[in-house]
Amino acid sequence: MQIIQHWLSQAIHCPSPNFDERPDQSDISLIVIHCISLPAGQYNNNNIDLFFRNKLLTQADPSFQHIAKMKVSAHLLIRRNGNITQYVPFNMRAWHAGQSLYQGRSQCNDFSIGIEMEGTDDSPYQEDQYLSLAHVIKHLISHYPKLTTEQITGHST
């Protein structure tokens, strides 16, 4: 696994339009871990890919009605089987944390990498997901000097 021009070499690349420039591209100093499944608790579909690319089919599930117009993304998604999809290059600002605050710093999207774990708040992740997450974090920390193991947090609503 390598990071080449801010893309993870072993990830499936599925570019999202939902990103913009970071105010300071050298300030990548936080990893935010989220969980997602669309619909909630349903896995092994392409709804997350569609959502992050503004192509979610609202008629596919009633729960999609309230999120269909949202413009969001993450840098990475780690699926239940450990496969990784990348939507946004790491040097760009993905739209994953919204209005946020971490250790006194606001606007976490400005300086963070967002990683989505396919799952729900009340279901355990799979061992393959944890293995992929550990490998990804190891490579991110070695590639971006401001990242440390202490600069990892979970997103809460």
Give me the percent of the chain exceeding a pLDDT of 70.
99
Q: Residue 102 — very low, low, confident or very high, per pLDDT cuts 50/70/90? A: confident
Number of domains in the chain: 1
In angstroms, the CA 16 to CA 124 distance is: 27
pLDDT digits (tens, 9 = 90+) for 14-66: 999 999 999 999 999 999 999 999 999 999 999 999 999 999 999 999 999 99
Q: Is the pLDDT of residue 157 over 70?
A: no
Residue type, 125: Y
**Active site amino acids:** 116
Q: Residue 155 — very low, low, confident or very high, per pLDDT cuts 50/70/90? A: confident
Domain limits at 109?
3-154
- CB half-sphere exposure, 113, CA atoms < 13 A: 32
Output the CA–CA distances (angstroms, integers) from residue 147 to 13, 59, 80, in the order listed: 23, 41, 25
Provide the CATH number for the domain around residue 100: 3.40.80.10
